Structure 1
Amino acid sequence: MSLASSAARTVPPAAAPLLDHAVRTDPEPLEANLSGPSPADLRVVVSNSGNVAVRCTSIVIELPVGSRPRDLASTGVGIEASTTTPGWVRTGQTVSPTQARFEFEPSTDEAAVITEDPLTFKVDRVPVNSSVGVAYPLITETSAIRQDTPQAREGYARLPKFPAGTTATLPVGTNLRVHVGEQPIEGRPPAVRVPHGSKVTVAWNPARDVVRHLHYEDKEAGTPIAEGATQLVCGPLYRETTFTLQTVSQVNGQPVSRYDSFTLQVDVPEYPRVNLPNGTLGHVDPPGLTITSPVRTEKLLTVKEAMHGKNTASITGRLEAPTIKAAATQFGGTLEVAGTFTANNLTAAKVTTSRGLTATGRVNILKAGHTPLPASGSQTFPTDGLILASATDHADLELWVDTPSHKFRNVSWGRVGTLVAPVKAEQPITWGGSGTGYTFSWYPFGT
């Protein structure tokens, strides 16, 4: 939580972020110069380290403004904010005595879906104030997964501000190195990139008569280093991490600090892909799913979660699978097959084929809507379904439907009456009523 204005909150805390937020600075680390504000540039990266696509409808970056150690900028005037991410634009900027606020939104629905590619935002010409401390910029994402409603989710970045460095001769051996794992580091080369969730050993050469702190966690003072210690195990790490080793020594009777920094890259799990022998199915965009090359699955294709197709799924090649099994399969749009479509079991609201449909098993085509019937009649129907009778204008009216297995009757009272009769395909059905003021309709189930 931010150290600023925490007691003044009158609304419940926002939900936890679904995306990862990282802030890099230039210079790194930031310097608090007693002679006056010093300019710095920020790079804010928002990424998806999970395996589920996240729909993000806005990103808001708020920089604390003021002269306190917890503030970042001395003023919000003159700060420039922009984005290099295709499909995203800056939609607002607000500057007040306590904060500088920058708002970004996607310009298309496609750009709002975050999978592999991160969002990058530039905040330049930030006048860092002269107070040594830690500032906490607020990053708010409005996001959701699947069909949930997007909601605001807050995350705070941690930006230490160290005293401006003094050029002085310091003990040799303050260079910073990072090795993968906790085992002895002798003979192992330093790492520049580690797997997701790794522990690392941060090492430095020994020096006498110095005081050291290692900064990388959310601690304003850093982690104290015991005298004579030359390494510290850190982690596990889940995102890019900057380690800063602060070394304090005496120069001409005055304490002088030196800062050695090293940024370690951390692998982010790749968004899953499906690689096929004769074609590649990449990420699924919201407008639809398109497979342009032939695809054949030899074994069972299992979808553990619900597979939703709200728009058209177009398959221009050939799709053939012995079995497709899913916990829930919903096609809210239309399935169009330009080539040959072979299915053992198919259920769909609408099927359009240009070369015919071949089925070795049962095919359920659920026709939407209903068909009005005359006030009385007798016929057979091609599919299973329901006959619905409704009366609205008579106080006493009999409605009936006769099937080979059952006779359905109902008498309306109080000017309202309804009769529902299930019927089977290819069986003679007779229906009718006494008087006027009623209707019959046919609702097919499909077969």
Structure 2
Amino acid sequence: MSTHLGGTSRLTYSLATVPAPLATDRPAHIDVVVSNSGTEAVLCKQILLVLPTGDLAQDLVPAGHRVVATVEPSDQWTTDEIESGVLLTLPQDEMAAFAPGGTPVTVRPATGESVSLTTHGLLLRLKDFKANALAGTALLRIRETVSVDNGKTWETHQVTLPLAKYPPAEALTADVVGDLVLREADVDDNPDSAPVTLLTPGQKAVLTWTAPSDATCYVYYGDGERSEPLSGRDKWRFPVTGLTRDTQFQVRVTLQRSGETITHHLSTAVAVAEPVFPQLTVTKITAGGRKGKNEAPLLTIDGAVEVEKDSHFRGSLGVAQESHFYGTVYGGDGTLTVGDALVAKKSVSAEAGVTVTGSLAVTEKALVGSTNFDGMNTGDLWIKGKLSADRADLTTVLGTPQKLADAFDGRERSAPSNGLLLLWVRTVGHHATRTIYVDVHNGQEYETVAAATIDYGNAPDVKGSSATVPLRKGQKYTIWQEGSGGGTTDAYFFPLLSG
């Protein structure tokens, strides 16, 4: 709103307010423009501006509130609030001259042609305050101290400027577009009063803005997403859910006025904690997490990691993707587990023991204690030094033999480890015939795999005999005998590669 008043003052004062008109209990901004619209030059010593202060309808500024005032041109004028609601504006050089409006000033430039110039007036800005809560008309009083005879005599004039305050519902009915804010939503999807700048995963929010009810609005956000056209609303709201990363919102507001289309663009943004990125290209990531075993910060990845071979990258450059690791790689709980086959293109070194629970296959040559492959064929095992086996560290091939008690009673037994079962029978007298047998379970049934026999008294005489059976750990077997006559029978179990 602009008010142009002259009255008995030598200078002319115009007002512009935001909003226009002023709304009660809302932020306000007032511009006062001072100029000389007369035909005489005016010198100004000071301008005193009085704002009605209080909580009544005829007041403008609530009691106790301070007004921030600025003046332009600032290099020629100063301004100060000498008491609540009273502003004093002074020229820097004790007085200021206002040239009469429309009076040309002739300057002769080098070309000899005339140029018409107009001098500027004074702009006083009043901001950072809000109108009081009651609707009414406040009178802004301005008192000027001026001279029209080049400072010989000074005059004081006062002018009064009315300022109307309306309730917000009536004052803010103009085409106000703006105030785009993202607010946290309650359980009923209603917006909270405070704006939100950081959303947690799954948190709901509501986008709100101000626009006339006859506007048409579109909301753009995310990866090219757009709302349906929104129109015919007194309150402009757009629910927001399921954001997975930082998101920029833009609202396009379209108005039809006097046959023309007016378009406004509003924008805001929100950050999302723990964002999700389907694809991310980075040059470098610096770890800043908890300290590792070497006191270096760790980068923690919650979940599995797959390093993918990019077919486009391979096709354009002719090489496969590579992954480089520097330093030491640790496994969880002290163990690094590789789920698939591991192929090492170069040497593999172990500074501690190596345990193989399955098969260890060497497709070329295996050297132990040597680096000379000369004279070796594929599949050869070369051990330079001693080879020993022990239960713990391979110091002997055969362990301590164990004599089996009551070995020939026919009961089922189980091999305690991989090993050899040795049976021995011999005669102690004449006319003795006896045979001892070993039956081994093959997974389905028992079958006889070995036997030892003595026959003394019938030529040719057999005074002693033995049998050896290899057994796997846990394999079931039985020992039994038949025949008569004196004799001695013994059974021993020799563990292999175990003490």
TM-score, normalised to structure 1, is 0.31
More strand by share: 1
Highest Rg: 1 or 2? 2
